[in-house]
Structure 1
Amino acid sequence: MISDTTPTLTYFNARARGELTRLLLNYLDVEFNDVRVAYPLDKDLKASLPFGQLPMFKDNDVTLVQSTAIESYIANKYNIAGTNDVERAQIHQYVLATMDVYNPFFLVWRDEALVLKYTLDKAPLFLPQFESIVNQCKGEYLVGDTLSWADLAWFNMVDYFTHYNHLKDVIKNYPALIAFHKRIGDRLPERTKQYLKSRESTPV
């Protein structure tokens, strides 16, 4: 039941920088308010934000902005951010690496010509490294022997590529990443699988 103490994620009606937080909360079975606001930001809301940007996450007395900070808070609170300092650092590095893939796309997604340039020039700079790391993994997961924030971050990244038509041709060249996406997807709880199937399509 939604209550005054229920955590709230405020973001646009888009996946982009908010979807991994939604995925984490769903996977962890944490009930939350998924507040989606119109773009561009209302000037009063923008003025109230520490950096004038979304997403924003509120959990009782905690208010956070910046997507990776929000994800880190959730992952650490619910113990999927590693079991020791080394694992925590490794998981964090893998999460941050996805930003190298996302950020150039988020800058150009409205321009078809620039999106094409991204698929030909930018994505191939990074995705081979992801493919190599997945191939080198000795276990089922990126770090340790249980599913972590890093696995969900990489699942979400590949899922993003497989969802959008103009990116599908990029990811098909990386079979290990595709297999990783399926492996992690198969291990998600049924509620998360249903969420992934039922969520609406958004432009970014």
Structure 2
Amino acid sequence: MAPQKKEKITLTYFNIAGRAELSRLIMAYAGVDFVDKRLEREEFGKLKETYPYKQVPILKIEGYGNLCQSISIARFLAKRYHLAGHDDLAAAEADEVVDAANDTAALVYPIYKCTDAAEKKKMLAEVLPKVEAALKNLEARLEARGGQFMAGNTFTWADICMYTMAAHLKLNGTGPAFDGCPKINNLVERVANMPNIKKWRDAHQ
């Protein structure tokens, strides 16, 4: 039998963590050799009209075409590399947590985009209680499911999503919201120190 041709996988996004980092880390964890194509804004402007939804991220697997939308890409990769959950219920639990984590991360997007220091401080004061409430819900969910992992009592893409959410929130000034979430903090630390994820972090910080 002829050897199987190695796939060329390309993930295209901006040169930031953003909405592509979950997919990057799923592939990094799985040891996938992929092209991490990072666009500057000017380059994106030139290419934008060639993209199906005029936005990124885009996942391209040679011979199969493009896949768009950040969570659709991440879910596809999680299924492909056995991180989606060991059965239908675990998969649904993982999907639930990913949705909740992304809703939480979205709370600080306006802060990220704000360039006025005084306005940013005001926005942060308004957003912090909402982030704290959302994290407490996730902390309770984690505790109810055994305290180690977010879905199916095993490691899934939902746990990687918790890590990317935490990094995003702390980067945007909402670190204090994690003070009452010891189990989330422990989970995030464990994910950060998984060998392949740590290797990725060390290479891209």
> Is TM (by shorter chain) over 0.5?
yes
Secondary structure, aligned partner of 1:10: strand
Assess, with a 3 A threshold, how the Cα gap between structure 1 residues 23 and 115 changes in structure 2: closer, same or farther: farther
1:106 match: 109
Q: How does 1:121-200 map to 2 (within 5 A)?
A: 121-138=129-146, 140-162=148-170, 164=171, 166-186=173-193, 188=194, 190-200=195-205
| TM-score normalized by the length of structure 1 | 0.84
Identity of aligned residues (%): 26
Deviation per CA, 1:152-183, whole angstroms, max 9, x where unpaired?
Answer: 11122123334x26232232332221122123
Q: 1:130–1:77: structure 2 CA closer, same or farther, 3 Å change rule? A: same
Runs of 4+ in structure 1 off by over 4 angstroms are: none
Alpha carbons 1:161, 1:167 under 8 Å: kept: yes
Q: Identify which range, 51-60 or 23-32, moves more after superposition.
A: 51-60
The 8 Å contact of residues 112 and 172 in structure 2, kept in 1 or not, is answered as: no
Quick check: which has more Rg, 1 or 2?
2
Residues 59-95 of structure 1: CA distance to partner in whole angstroms, max 9, x if unpaired?
1214111100000110111121122222221111111
Letter in 2 for 1:28: A
Check the 8 A contact 1:131/1:174 in 2, yes or no.
yes
- CA distance in structure 2 between the aligned counterparts of 1:114 and 1:52, rounded to whole angstroms: 33
Contact 1:80 1:148 in 2 (8 A): yes
* Structure 2 residue runs without a partner (length 5+): 115-119
- Match of residue 71, structure 1, among 70, 74, 93: 74
Q: Over aligned residues, Cα RMSD in angstroms?
A: 2.3
CA distance, structure 2, for counterparts of residue 114 and residue 62 of structure 1: 44
- Measure the CA separation in 2 of the matches of 1:95 and 1:107: 20
Q: CA deviation at 1:43?
A: 3.5
1:41 Cα offset (Å)? 6.0
Q: TM-score, normalised by structure 2?
A: 0.84
Letter paired with 2:87? N
Match of 2:25 among 23, 47, 69: 23
Report the equivalent of 2:41.
39
Counterparts of 1:7 and 1:180 in 2: how far apart (Å)?
A: 29
Distance 1:118 1:50, change over 3 A: farther
Q: SS state of the match for residue 58, structure 1?
A: strand
